[in-house]
Structure 1
Amino acid sequence: MSPLRRLLVRALPLLLSGLLAGCGAPAAPAAPDTAERAVRDAVAAWARTPPAQLAGIPLEGWAYEVSAVRRSGAQATARAELHYRLTGYDTAPAGSAREVRLSRDGGRWRVTGDRPAPGAPPQLWDQGPVAVVRGAHSLVLGSGQDAGTLSAVAAEVERAVPAVSAAWPGPWAGRVVVLVPGSLERMAQLLGRPAAEYRGMGAVTTGRVGAAEAPADRVVVNPEGWAQLSSAGRGVILTHEVTHVATRAATSARTPLWLSEGFADWAAYRGGTTTPQQGAPALGRAVRRGELPGALPADGAFAFGGDPEALARAYEGAWLACRLIASRWGDAALVRLYEAAGREPLDVALRETTDTDPPALTAAWQASLRNDLTAP
């Protein structure tokens, strides 16, 4: 046998083992080394107790799940997901992507800082000390706000929750968490969106669609928009947002925005004396100019950051559509329509709950706009 052939024969088992390894299942990820395990253990030990500045917030299930560790000498950074619940309010853990910084001191790792992960929105406590106001139906958390403002927000929520329960008889917790940041810019940071999208708005609600997808509802107040509202306006805004919290479990991607936004306004105005001309000034101006809408507002009409006049017309038209349904077929039919529209196509839901269809509803809505918004 030639020397070359003998070399190939000796190498064959090694070649085969390499090929077989490549054809098999992927190799298991390497276990963390000793230093990485020490970093993970340090984060776990540090996270067993929430920070002292959160002592007034009712927290449970506080935990950091580390996904990656990066070390550089005596410094380390751990990427982690923070999980927690607000006791009595959250049905499942809220999540927040975090970056935990550590340093090695005397052979042991010690946490030196915690901040939102790059690109992740902050938590309210990242913006400064948090003050807490509790009510029978509310938990108001504020940063950079005076006690009077937080108490006023809590008082409005206490009035809004019973009003919403009267409009929405379906099951819901009957409790609301409200965040009041120090400025419009800080509100936008919490929501991870440009501040311009919320300018002029009093409040927004997070986590409205899909109970399993968004366990942590929060009403977030825009302090600048809030300051510009009358007492009645504040009541309408918070009742509208609390309605979104109450109806979230019945809301899905199927639910048209004209129905979800219109229902929230209907609940907010329900039982009051606001007339269509008073509550729909922008749409009234358009109708009197001869610009009657050709269809119920499309989902895109409710996008933030666009033409404020067009956005106002969309909300006003949605309210008047729901007002029409309640007046013609009854409050209970409107509630049943909302529930059905989250499960099935709108035409099916309308037929089952009102014995009508989208074209007929649109025609009736247009007629009501002519009648209600053009009268002297």
Structure 2
Amino acid sequence: MTALRLRGDRAALTARVSYRLRGVSGRWEYVQRIHTRRTPEGWRVARARTSEPQPPWELAAYRAIDTRHFRVLIPRGVSPADADLEGTLERAYAEIRERLPGRLARRYAVLIATDGGDLGAMAPALRGVSQLSAITDLAVRTAGPAERVTEVVSLRILVPWESFLTASAETRQRVLAHELAHAALAPVTSGRTPAWLQEGIALYVSGDRRVAPEGLLAGDLAASAGAEATLTGLAQPDAMSALAGSRLSAAYRLSSSAGFYIASRYGAERLLQLLNAYSDESLEGDAGRALSSAATRRTLGVGLERLERDIRDWEQAGGRTLGG
């Protein structure tokens, strides 16, 4: 209980409630305001209201199913077999386990949202992203000037069912693999990590190569979408959160090119070393262009602007495999 107000035979209290899911690490919280009234039989609850984020059971009747690596909460009326959800989850898990050995947790929570309204109520920060087929919702604790992750407090994969169901089987597995890549790397993703690198690694690990429309070169693509489609414009951790439509697509394409180029030119291990650099306190500074340039210079030997030119040249040459 965090607050209590008492007036005669009426009282109002605010309680912070936490809950867990069986077999899955992590905890989730919500805040409930409870109004009570004193009766001859004692205090009774008159009404209660939950602030966002809301727990799933306040939005729909859920049932749980378990697979080897997932606990899935499914609302009434949804049939996971319609999208082979269980099989797709396990195939995506196996894919990321092979590419990031030793990094995945034993089990993850998956929560299906029937629509964007339910998804937004459960995760307000993700409101408006129901056009995506899945998204990772997590909370972490960080410490020090490098904002190094000290604890993953909660992590779950949210699936907006309508958009997931209409995607192809290949897309569904690719999207789940992408989100599992985020989940696997969450413990080592500093709060300073730029958006382009967060997404670039996940896109690379999940094998999701985004390319520009035919006839449109990478540099033209960046210019057509504005500053957000440059590594500098995507240097803040949340730089992609406000993007939509063609600008978001351009940002994902550039991030994908960055991830695949770095892995091709320098090796996949160097790509992970770049991610780790942001958790290193000897690399000083707040998130942004200067820090990103220092990180790429330390890890790859080139600054951010040079890296972007190299990516553009690589794209124009057809994105061929390079020696490292």
Matched ranges for 1:130-145 at <5 A: 130-145=62-77
Aligned residue for 2:287? none
Two-structure CA RMSD over aligned residues (Å):
2.8
Aligned residue for 1:357? 303
Evaluate the alpha carbon distance shift between residue 303 and residue 163 of structure 1 in structure 2; reply closer, same or farther with a 3 A threshold. Answer: same
Out of 97, 110, 135, the residue aligned to residue 204 of structure 1 is 135
Evaluate the alpha carbon distance shift between residue 150 and residue 176 of structure 1 in structure 2; reply closer, same or farther with a 3 A threshold. Answer: farther
Evaluate the alpha carbon distance shift between residue 132 and residue 291 of structure 1 in structure 2; reply closer, same or farther with a 3 A threshold. Answer: closer
Matched ranges for 1:159-308 at <5 A: 159-169=91-101, 171-193=103-125, 195=127, 197-207=128-138, 210=142, 211-212=149-150, 215-269=153-207, 276=209, 279-282=210-213, 286-287=216-217, 290-292=220-222, 295-296=230-231, 297-298=233-234, 299=236, 301-304=239-242, 306-308=243-245
Out of 299, 307, 311, the residue aligned to residue 248 of structure 2 is 311
Aligned residue for 2:15? 80
Evaluate the alpha carbon distance shift between residue 245 and residue 228 of structure 1 in structure 2; reply closer, same or farther with a 3 A threshold. Answer: same
Letter in 1 for 2:19: Y
Out of 90, 103, 111, the residue aligned to residue 158 of structure 1 is 90
Evaluate the alpha carbon distance shift between residue 206 and residue 103 of structure 1 in structure 2; reply closer, same or farther with a 3 A threshold. Answer: same
Superimposed CA distance per residue, residues 321-348 of structure 1 (whole angstroms, 9 cap, x where no aligned partner): 1111111111111122212233334344
Aligned residue for 2:258? 321
Instruction: Give secondary structure in 1 for the equivalent of 2:14.
Output: strand
How much does 1:95 deviate?
1.7
Kept after mapping to 2: 8 A contact 1:133/1:154:
no
Q: Structure 2 CA distance, aligned partners of 1:176 and 1:151?
A: 19
Larger radius of gyration: 1
Kept after mapping to 1: 8 A contact 2:212/2:221:
no
Superimposed CA distance per residue, residues 197-216 of structure 1 (whole angstroms, 9 cap, x where no aligned partner): 21421122112654457501
How much does 1:152 deviate?
2.9
Superimposed CA distance per residue, residues 210-254 of structure 1 (whole angstroms, 9 cap, x where no aligned partner): 445750111111122212211111111111111111111111221
Instruction: Give secondary structure in 2 for the equivalent of 1:70.
Output: strand
Which structure has more RCO (C-alpha within 8 Å, separation ≥ 6)?
2
Letter in 2 for 1:255: T
Kept after mapping to 1: 8 A contact 2:293/2:304:
yes
Evaluate the alpha carbon distance shift between residue 165 and residue 347 of structure 1 in structure 2; reply closer, same or farther with a 3 A threshold. Answer: farther
Q: What TM-score comes out, normalization by structure 2 length?
A: 0.80
Q: Structure 2 CA distance, aligned partners of 1:336 and 1:152?
A: 35
How much does 1:355 deviate?
3.3
Instruction: Give secondary structure in 1 for the equivalent of 2:312.
Output: helix
Evaluate the alpha carbon distance shift between residue 247 and residue 204 of structure 1 in structure 2; reply closer, same or farther with a 3 A threshold. Answer: same
Q: Structure 1 CA distance, aligned partners of 2:15 and 2:121?
A: 20
Instruction: Give secondary structure in 2 for the equivalent of 1:359.
Output: helix
More strand by percentage: 2
Q: Structure 2 CA distance, aligned partners of 1:341 and 1:125?
A: 38
Q: Structure 1 CA distance, aligned partners of 2:193 and 2:35?
A: 43
Evaluate the alpha carbon distance shift between residue 143 and residue 76 of structure 1 in structure 2; reply closer, same or farther with a 3 A threshold. Answer: farther
Q: Which moved more, 1:96-105 or 1:172-181?
A: 96-105
Would you say how many aligned residue pairs link Structure 1 and Structure 2? 295
Superimposed CA distance per residue, residues 292-319 of structure 1 (whole angstroms, 9 cap, x where no aligned partner): 5583251465124x44111011011101
Kept after mapping to 2: 8 A contact 1:144/1:181:
no
Q: Structure 2 CA distance, aligned partners of 1:351 and 1:121?
A: 40
Instruction: Give secondary structure in 2 for the equivalent of 1:372.
Output: coil
Q: Which moved more, 1:295-304 or 1:79-88?
A: 295-304
Evaluate the alpha carbon distance shift between residue 162 and residue 291 of structure 1 in structure 2; reply closer, same or farther with a 3 A threshold. Answer: closer
Out of 276, 279, 292, the residue aligned to residue 346 of structure 1 is 292
Aligned residue for 1:100? 34
Evaluate the alpha carbon distance shift between residue 174 and residue 347 of structure 1 in structure 2; reply closer, same or farther with a 3 A threshold. Answer: farther
Kept after mapping to 2: 8 A contact 1:143/1:181:
yes
Kept after mapping to 2: 8 A contact 1:208/1:244:
no
Q: Structure 1 CA distance, aligned partners of 2:119 and 2:94?
A: 27
How much does 1:136 deviate?
1.0
